[in-house]
Amino acid sequence: MLILVHLYGTSLGGFLAQLFAQHRPRRVRSLVLSNSFLETRNFAAAMPWAPVVSWTPSFLLKRFVLMGIPNGPHEPFIADSVDFVVSQVETLSKDDLASRLTLTADAASVGPVLLSDSFITIMDTNDYCATPQQLKDEVSERYPGARQAYLKTGGDFPFLSRPDEVNLHLQLHLRRVSVEARPDLVRGTSKDADASEGGGGSSREPNNDRREDGDDAPKDNRGITPESPKPPPAPESPDSHHSDSHLGNSEGATSALYQTTLSLHAFFKKEQYLIASYLFLPSTWGFCILSLLHLYMGTLYIDLEPCWKLRQVV
């Protein structure tokens, strides 16, 4: 059975989604493109060192990737998305970074896509992003019958900065292509939970009620439960006082030992520099004095030797 997929891609992801739909038209049911483009010619021109990207050091690759992310003042939710992406870039290996840049700079373009425009949604942001506006307009011209969905702000990562709006547009897109929601396939949900939410209560409440009915005392004809007399408190034995006092003494001893350990640790941590100075400074000064004395004796020998030879000649 052939499984059809719905693809959502942002920037390079949207470009790759179009290529997949071009080469595997029978596998793609619909497309959602966000800040995408049709060709990589502009990116290849901005990266002339693309043939040697596999030999480029990792820190230079990370720097080049991060240069494409604007670091000016952002709205809080956009700043949080940028911080998250930067932290993820720092964890990538050299091979992952090189492959990502190779896909962006390799000369490629999207050909004819057999998918109908009615099954395509273009979701772009109106603020700054790494994809030039000219490239985004080319996508809109390629699919004139596609549904247009614009986000006022969102930056390069609208799925992180505007997740609620993006999810709303995705749901509308899926309804448009006749895809019904299946909450039972979402992890963490069940049919019982859905049924309980429809009935206005939790699915565990009836079980608890039945359990409580079985444990309750029999009620009279008026529906009033007779209260059973409470048992008198058990008298305390001397052994219990002894065990409590022994437990209190043990806890006190443990606490005193812990406080003593902390005090010793703080003392040694505070005095470690003094101990090091007392142990190592004298030996260091002695070594320096011996070295200087050796040099002094050598120079003295050099100065006295010509004088001794001159005295012998005289």
pLDDT tens, 183-197? 777 676 554 444 444
Beta-carbon neighbour count of residue 18 at 10 Å? 27
**What's the distance, Cα to Cα, between the start and end of the chain in Å?**
118
Confidence of residue 258 (pLDDT cuts 50, 70, 90): low
Beta-carbon neighbour count of residue 193 at 10 Å? 15
CATH topology of domain 5-183: Rossmann fold (3.40.50)
Least confident residue range of 35-39, 131-135, 217-221, 247-251: 217-221
Phi, psi of 58 (to 5 degrees): -65, -40
Mean pLDDT, residues 141-149 taken together: 95
Q: What is the mean pLDDT of the chain?
A: 74
CB-based contacts of 196: which residues, under 8 Å, 6+ apart? 202, 203, 205
Confidence of residue 75 (pLDDT cuts 50, 70, 90): confident
Is the pLDDT reported for residue 31 higher than 80?
A: yes
Is the pLDDT reported for residue 221 higher than 50?
A: no
Is the pLDDT reported for residue 87 higher than 80?
A: yes
Is the pLDDT reported for residue 175 higher than 70?
A: yes
Question: Mapping DSSP to helix (H, G, I), strand (E, B) and coil, where does residue 241 land?
Answer: helix
Q: Strand 5-10's sheet: what is its strand order?
A: 5-10, 28-34, 120-125, 147-151
Distance of CA 145 to CAs 120, 122, 159, Å? 8, 10, 24
Is the pLDDT reported for residue 116 higher than 50?
A: yes
**108: exposed, middle or buried (Cβ count in 10 Å: 0-12, 13-18, 19+):** middle
Q: What integer pLDDT is reported at residue 52 of this predicted model?
A: 87
Write out the H or E segment, with its range, that includes residue 122. strand 120-125
pLDDT more than 70, % of the chain: 59
Is the pLDDT reported for residue 107 higher than 60?
A: yes
Per DSSP bridges, beta strands 5-10 and 120-125 are unpaired
Q: Which residue has the tokens 């050091």?
A: 57
Q: What integer pLDDT is reported at residue 203 of this predicted model?
A: 40
Mean pLDDT, residues 278-283 taken together: 50
Mean pLDDT, residues 153-162 taken together: 92
Domain residue ranges in the chain: 5-183
The answer to whether the pTM exceeds 0.85 is: no
- For 40-65, letters b (16+ CB in 10 Å) and e give beebeeebeebeebeebeeeebbebb
